Structure 1
Amino acid sequence: MFLRRRSLIAASGLAATSLALPCVSLAQADRRPSITIAVQQIANSAALEPLREQSNVGQRVFSFVFERLIMQDLLAKLEEVPGLAESWKRLDERTVEFTLRKGVKFHNGDEMTADDVVFTFSRDRMFGPDYDIASTKTLFTSVLIRDSVQGKNLPPEVPAVAKRLFPALEKVEAIDKYTVRFTNRTPDVTMEGRIGRLGSDIVSRRAYDEAKNWLDWARAPVSTGPYKVRAFVPDQSLTLDAHDEYWGGRPPLKSVTIVVVPEVATRINGLLAGQFDFICDVPPDQIPGIEKNPKFEVLGSTIVNHRITVFDKNHPRLADPRIRQAFTHAIDRQAIVDALWSGRTRVPAGLQWEFYGPMFVENWTVPAYDPAKAKALLKAANYKGDPIPYRLLNNYYTNQVSTAQVLVEMWRAAGLNVQIEMKENWQQIFDANSPRAVRDWSNSAGFNDPISSLVAQHGPQGQQQQVGEWTNEEMNKLSVAMEVETDMGKRKAMFRRMLEICEREDPAYTVLHQNATFTAKRRDIRWKASPSFAMEFRANNFSV
């Protein structure tokens, strides 16, 4: 069902009138529109559990369903704002206490309480039964005694992500029905950021308990967001209905259907034909053609995510860091931004963002475009032109294939023999049964500290090291030290040294450009895009 041109004011008036006319059914009174959104993919893991689906596509759909104690202002600059917690306070450098909103309803109608928050961060739901609590006996405690959930058989990726997000969480306690206290084993200046990032989404304990198994739960999760899951068909569609008991006000849409349409041209044609109301992941070169039609417009901007190229130093050719350094100096990043992105994004200062504030390293740059230096490095490393595989997905990222083709030519000009290997999914990208060398990735900052990006993705618990692509002893020591350091000057010096290691000396990756997302929509719909992958469809961000 596609969006019909009806005023939300009129819809609200009808709903109010129906209260005085019992003969009018709720279904007849609900004249809110429904919309259809076409996306490149809904979830890479065929699941809607944030701890399993740590991806850009997952972040987009999770904004409809899930919420956290601390949230981001999606219509501003992603500042931290109260979410399911109305307030919080630091008790000491290891402890943060939250006061929960009263009357928040889950999608199943239950009220959210401290018991649900405690369960959300429990072994059963997050860490797995073998979590090492360093002899702490009260890791997760609640004033409400409940039987633990049995038989959910967490996928190994879930506790792996949980331990990456919370490497030293000691206990989560329900002080009373609406007060929760988080305590870390070590000092941590980033606790609020961790509790407010993707993966810390609050879920219903009862709904999780009642699910037959983990997969059933993960395909119909119950949280507190403005929309609830009606039906999910992996790799095809996700249908959401309004959660009319939503604490933030009645959602403006009756339902949302998100459909998987991998090809850009098919998404665009569907929009122009009226089949879709919104389409995501629009390449910049397609924006002028869409906006030639006065009925449509394209919104978007840079987001807190960088496109990167990642190296596997176990490949025989990449074991020598000089060859990886040559890769980084052979890339004309500004040419990619100008040619493929129409100048709508930028080359950033390495793997960091200005919203880090005092932790942002000034005067840092990506490796300079220097083909002569790249050639000299290859010569010094005695590289003889042996083929180096480059694993690639078919436009999972906007402009992915065209960017890869440009990169291969740039690398070839410097003397690198890089050969593209097309893969169908991420499992094939990470497969270690055949030689790995170079691949595409992106990196987001979940909150305003390098812990959320550089350490989380490339540190000792990060996915790159967990899949066995890269490791560095000094980087790992710094990561552990930075987790517990509270002096901001010392933390910034550690971060700078990490950048030197990961981007210059022993490259784990190289940043290509800041990512940007563009969404095309009907012009008569009043809606604002967020500076993130997430999409905002609460009451303050939709009207026609």
Structure 2
Amino acid sequence: MTAAGLGLAAPALAQSDTRPSLTIAVQKISNSNTLETPREQSNVGFRVSSLYAESLIGTDWLGNLGQVPGLATAWRRIDERVVEFDLRAGVQMHDGRIMSAEDVAFSLGGARLFGGASAGREPPADALAVARRTFPGFERMEVVRQGVVRFVNRVPDVTLEGRIAQNVGVVLSRQGFETAENWQAWARRPIGTGPYRVAEFRPDVALTFEAHDSYWGGRPPARRIRFNEVPEVASRINALLSGETDFATDIPPDQLPIIERNARFEVVGSAVNNIRVLVFDKGHPVLRNPLVRRALTHAIDHRMIIESLWSGRTEITRGLQLGFFGDMYLADWENPRFDPAEARRLLREAGYRGEAIPYRCLNNYYVNQTPTAQVMVEMWRSVGLNVQLQMMENWSQVVEPGAMRGIRDWSVTHVFSDPVGSMLRAMGPLGELQRGQEWTNAEFNQLCTALESSTDRARRRVVFRRMLEIIEREDPGYMVLNQAATFIAKRRDIRWRPARGWPMDFSAANLGFGG
């Protein structure tokens, strides 16, 4: 596709640049209509952020999800509160400047994350809340010397490296932030270090990147990458098959054969570092009783849903945890069993009389979201639960407080290999579940503090187990559905591998043409 076809002014050297351009059809580009990572902590935000912004510590998305050098070539623990980083030399940012230690200190410790910017550039409250949740013990950033920085925490924290690897703390241009017209102008075209720079962002329509040819990791193989927002699955598939796009994301398993029958295309993908859950709002009069919430969890046949709607292509996780937790993984943990008789018994004990329970749902924002919801409503009905499915247009309607908020869909991305990066991030005192006043539990919150502050691995395992007992069994705040899986349809002649997470990697190491 030409630059003119993309609605962009052609670069001066465009005629001599023979690299291909790519077009990707996605169901959603951004939930916040910005690209600032603290504001866009979502599957759709994670998909694109690594194209333009990078962290000191990277993630091996194509391998074991382990930590790898990013904008730091090495790091070391000074003590339980301090991590020191050797910065990669000569990294050119999208504005042509060489990344400095001051850019790093600003990005992880300045006004962009924690506030205090000049008028008009102050980040919105939700972005500041995410920064505080990501770095709750942050004390300061120190520039030891040019090329070396230190992250200093107020309290001991065994998870500092994982926190710093998150895309909340990506390194961006301090000068770009401080000279932007306002925060929104900055947030729609942040200046980072990634292989592609933001060229044009049209909210709810398209997001276009151009190659950052001075990228430290090698010249990008694509000249331009454009993400088109195409909400309907059928339209994304048609766009791919007709040649309008080169990739189509978020393809449900039942649609894969349509694409695989065509020799020009293939489907790639697998389960990723995300778990789909249902959230229960304790503020609803019926759900205030934990017995009703427990009944909801026992009425669902998860295995049947996996086999019928997912063709067995994903798995039910053991609670809100994944195997890459290492020694923090509780391999013997069991989810509430499928037991309709137990569900009916709990409802009788609760004195439930068929009162309506609302279930707010979006139309396939998540793959298979709507059919899964419809199947679960019938399963609940079979044990006597009157769950009313309500289709919403956007996330604001889903989470809007009020008497009609009862059950909703959500997902939790495991941003690093510890429960702090998922359980606390989502469900803790600073997480979305409690900030939205859907659920809270005093003992659980005390355990959150213990999990974050303890450096004793055995003690942390005990604490984590008790947290799961509370929030998944005794006083349910959510119900695990399954490990999320993403399937991407693409032209077969494009050499590209999917990540084990949401990010789409189009760097020189993972993109080729003509084979």
TM-score by length of 2: 0.97
2:335 counterpart letter in structure 1: V
Corresponding position of 1:45? 32
Corresponding position of 1:18? none
2:115 counterpart letter in structure 1: G
Deviation at 1:2, TM superposition (A): 7.3
Deviation at 1:422, TM superposition (A): 1.1
Deviation at 1:366, TM superposition (A): 1.3
Matched position secondary structure for 1:373: helix
Matched position secondary structure for 1:107: coil
Deviation at 1:61, TM superposition (A): 1.0
Kindly tell me the number of residue pairs found equivalent between the two proteins.
505
Deviation at 1:123, TM superposition (A): 4.3
Matched position secondary structure for 1:300: strand
Corresponding position of 1:152? 121
1:516 is the counterpart of 2:485: yes
Matched position secondary structure for 2:273: strand
1:36 is the counterpart of 2:23: yes
Deviations 1:384-408 (A, max 9, x none): 0000000001110001000000010
1:165 counterpart letter in structure 2: T
1:477 is the counterpart of 2:446: yes
Corresponding position of 2:8? none
- Candidates 336, 351, 372, aligned match of 1:403: 372
- Candidates 289, 307, 320, aligned match of 1:351: 320
1:121 is the counterpart of 2:108: yes
| Equivalent-residue separation in structure 2 for 1:542 and 1:159 (angstroms) | 35
- Candidates 385, 396, 403, aligned match of 1:427: 396
Corresponding position of 2:64? 77
Deviation at 1:435, TM superposition (A): 2.2
Deviation at 1:153, TM superposition (A): 2.6
Deviations 1:142-172 (A, max 9, x none): xxxxxx6453132111110001001111111
| Equivalent-residue separation in structure 2 for 1:27 and 1:300 (angstroms) | 33
| Equivalent-residue separation in structure 2 for 1:58 and 1:300 (angstroms) | 18
Which sits farther off after the overlay, 372-381 or 172-181?
Answer: 172-181
| Equivalent-residue separation in structure 2 for 1:285 and 1:362 (angstroms) | 31
Corresponding position of 1:94? 81
2:299 counterpart letter in structure 1: A
Matched position secondary structure for 1:121: helix
Corresponding position of 1:316? 285
- Candidates 218, 224, 228, aligned match of 1:255: 224
What are the equivalent positions in structure 2 for 1:113-262 lying under 5 Å apart?
Answer: 113-129=100-116, 149-262=118-231
Corresponding position of 1:13? none
Identity %: 53
Matched position secondary structure for 1:441: strand
Contact 1:2 1:276 (8 Å CA) reproduced: no
Matched position secondary structure for 2:512: coil
| Equivalent-residue separation in structure 1 for 2:115 and 2:377 (angstroms) | 42
| Equivalent-residue separation in structure 2 for 1:380 and 1:261 (angstroms) | 47
1:375 is the counterpart of 2:362: no
What are the equivalent positions in structure 2 for 1:292-331 lying under 5 Å apart?
Answer: 292-331=261-300
- Candidates 450, 454, 466, aligned match of 2:435: 466
Matched position secondary structure for 1:90: strand
Deviation at 1:365, TM superposition (A): 1.6
- Candidates 354, 379, 385, aligned match of 2:354: 385
Contact 1:304 1:444 (8 Å CA) reproduced: yes
Deviation at 1:507, TM superposition (A): 0.3
Matched position secondary structure for 1:539: coil
2:237 counterpart letter in structure 1: I
Corresponding position of 1:62? 49
Deviation at 1:481, TM superposition (A): 1.2
Deviations 1:426-485 (A, max 9, x none): 111111134211000001110000001011100111100001000000000000111110
Distance 1:434 1:320, change over 3 A: closer
| Equivalent-residue separation in structure 2 for 1:74 and 1:494 (angstroms) | 29
Contact 1:2 1:275 (8 Å CA) reproduced: no
2:456 counterpart letter in structure 1: D
Pairwise CA RMSD: 1.1
1:203 counterpart letter in structure 2: L
Corresponding position of 1:498? 467
| Equivalent-residue separation in structure 2 for 1:449 and 1:74 (angstroms) | 16
| Equivalent-residue separation in structure 2 for 1:502 and 1:238 (angstroms) | 38
Matched position secondary structure for 1:510: strand
Deviation at 1:73, TM superposition (A): 1.3
Corresponding position of 1:139? none
| Equivalent-residue separation in structure 1 for 2:70 and 2:365 (angstroms) | 31
- Candidates 273, 281, 285, aligned match of 2:250: 281
Deviations 1:346-384 (A, max 9, x none): 111110000000000121121100000000000000000
What are the equivalent positions in structure 2 for 1:9-20 lying under 5 Å apart?
Answer: none
Contact 1:2 1:36 (8 Å CA) reproduced: no
Deviations 1:206-263 (A, max 9, x none): 1111101100000011100000011000010001000001000000000001000000
1:107 is the counterpart of 2:94: yes
| Equivalent-residue separation in structure 2 for 1:523 and 1:355 (angstroms) | 31
Contact 1:63 1:536 (8 Å CA) reproduced: yes
Give ranges in structure 2 of 5+ residues lacking alignment. 4-11
- Candidates 334, 343, 346, aligned match of 1:365: 334
Corresponding position of 1:136? none
Contact 2:275 2:481 (8 Å CA) reproduced: yes
1:482 counterpart letter in structure 2: L
Matched position secondary structure for 1:363: coil
| Equivalent-residue separation in structure 2 for 1:521 and 1:157 (angstroms) | 35
Deviations 1:467-515 (A, max 9, x none): 1000000000000111110000000100000000010000000100111
| Equivalent-residue separation in structure 2 for 1:491 and 1:79 (angstroms) | 20
